Amino acid sequence: MFPESSTGYSYEDCQSTADWLLSQTAVQPLVGIVCGSGMGGLADGLKDPVAFNYKDIPNFPQSTVHGHAGRLVFGTLKGIPCVCMQGRFHLYEGYAIQKITMPMRIFKILGVKTVILTNAAGGLNQDFKVGDIMIIKDHLNMPGFAGNNPLTGPNDERFGLRFPCMSDAYDRELQQLALDVGSELGFSDFLREGVYCVLGGPSFETIAECRMLNKLGADAVGMSTVHEVIVARHCGMRVFALSLITNKAVMDYDSEEKANHEEVLQTGKHRAEQLERLVSTIVARLEHNNNYA
């Protein structure tokens, strides 16, 4: 039904990839970061980086999308040991959903307690502007409605429960921390909260689809993150996620705007500096609150 949908990676496969990585770096990460389209600069902020190309990591898929470098970078951010995916995997690249989410299980075995995910998204909420940063408070999992969920297949209890709860997927303390940090940094004017909806992509949405998603309660639409969140929560890591609103979803038949990947990457560059400050300050505060887990 879906690409290789019944064949995930076994616990042993994930363990051997994690062991391989740990044998090559002294960094034992407590925080895992996933960079969205055009946001790879987040990884460049890591001190004393040790980087691996995905093609050199056993069992790892390859990045195929412009704006996703395809490197796993270990290092410290404000003194906190981190691992950063400079490039993620998407359903539309043709990978099985279990494959695109496998790095979350590697994070878990590496010792990561908190995962911070970023993405580029189209703004459906009419109050949002291009360049806004939306703290994700909840999601709509459209591929999941059609039966494409990363936890499909045999459940290995070493990762987590067969039926994990998702009503607490996005950690509320971390959302509040991000609001506080954003306010201190003077970012409140472009910091928002909302619901992210994932679709399969790679085509952008029609006008009718955008209108429908907005009516269903989505504030932003994209092609990632939710699958990773489900797998990260399944194995008990705390999750914080944010969307950079890179373009306004087209909701009006008179509009001349057309969604395109170049605009997405451009907006990422514009907000890169603030995004990096927001994320690194949140990471630093995780230490102060001692709230890794």
Ligand X SMILES: O=P(O)(O)O[C@@H]1C[C@H](O)[C@@H](CO)O1
Q: Is 110 exposed, middle or buried (0-12, 13-18, 19+ CB in 10 A)?
A: buried
249, interface contact from ligand GUN, ligand X, none, CB < 5-8 Å by kind: ligand GUN
**Residue 149: active-site member:** no
Sign of CA dihedral 145, 149, 152, 157: negative
Tell me, yes or no, if 120 is annotated catalytic: yes
Based on the residue annotation, tell me whether 251 is a catalytic residue of this protein: no
Residue 93 binding ligand GUN, by CB under 6 A: no
Which of residues 249 and 286 has its CB atom nearest to ligand GUN in the complex?
249
Rounded Cα gap, residues 110 and 113, in angstroms: 9
Sites for ligand X among residues 80-139 (CB under 6 A): 88, 90, 119-120
H-only helix segments in the chain: 11-24, 41-44, 97-100, 102-110, 142-145, 172-184, 207-215, 226-234, 261-289
Write the binding mask 218 to 237 for ligand X: x where contact by CB under 6 A, - elsewhere: ----xxx-------------
Query: Is residue 248 involved in binding ligand X (CB under 6 A)?
Result: no
Among 246, 274, 280, 281, binds ligand GUN (CB under 6 A): 246
Structure tokens at 91: 């359903």
65 binds ligand X (CB under 6 A): yes
* Whether the Cβ atoms of residue 283 and residue 32 lie closer than 8 Å to each other: no
Active site residue 188: no
36 scored as a contact of ligand X (CB under 6 A): yes
| Cross-strand pairs, 136 | 194
262 is catalytic: no
> If you ran DSSP here, which 8-state letter would residue 162 be given?
S
261 binds ligand X (CB under 6 A): yes
Q: Cα 111–162–155 angle (5° rounding)?
A: 75
The entry of ligand GUN, ligand X, none that residue 98 binds, CB within 5 to 8 Å by partner kind: none
**Structure tokens that stand for 104 in this block:** 């979350």
Beta carbon nearer to ligand GUN, 158 or 211: 211
Task: Return the one option of ligand X, ligand GUN, none that residue 65 interacts with (CB less than 5 to 8 A, by type).
Answer: ligand X
Active site (annotated) includes residue 270: no
Q: Which of 257, 264, 271 is nearest to 122 (CA)?
A: 264
37 binds ligand X (CB under 6 A): yes
**Is the alpha carbon torsion for 274, 177, 39, 29 positive or negative?**
positive
Please give the size of the binding site for ligand X, defined by CB under 6 A: 13
Residue nearest to ligand X (CB): 36
Q: Which part of the chain contacts ligand GUN (CB under 6 A), choosing from 72-80, 99-107, 200-208, 278-286?
A: 200-208
- 178: burial class by Cβ within 10 Å (0-12, 13-18, 19+)? buried
Give residues in contact with ligand GUN (CB under 6 A): 120-122, 199, 201, 204-205, 221-223, 246-247, 249, 259, 264
Residues marked active site are found at 37, 68, 90, 92-93, 120, 223-224, 247, 261
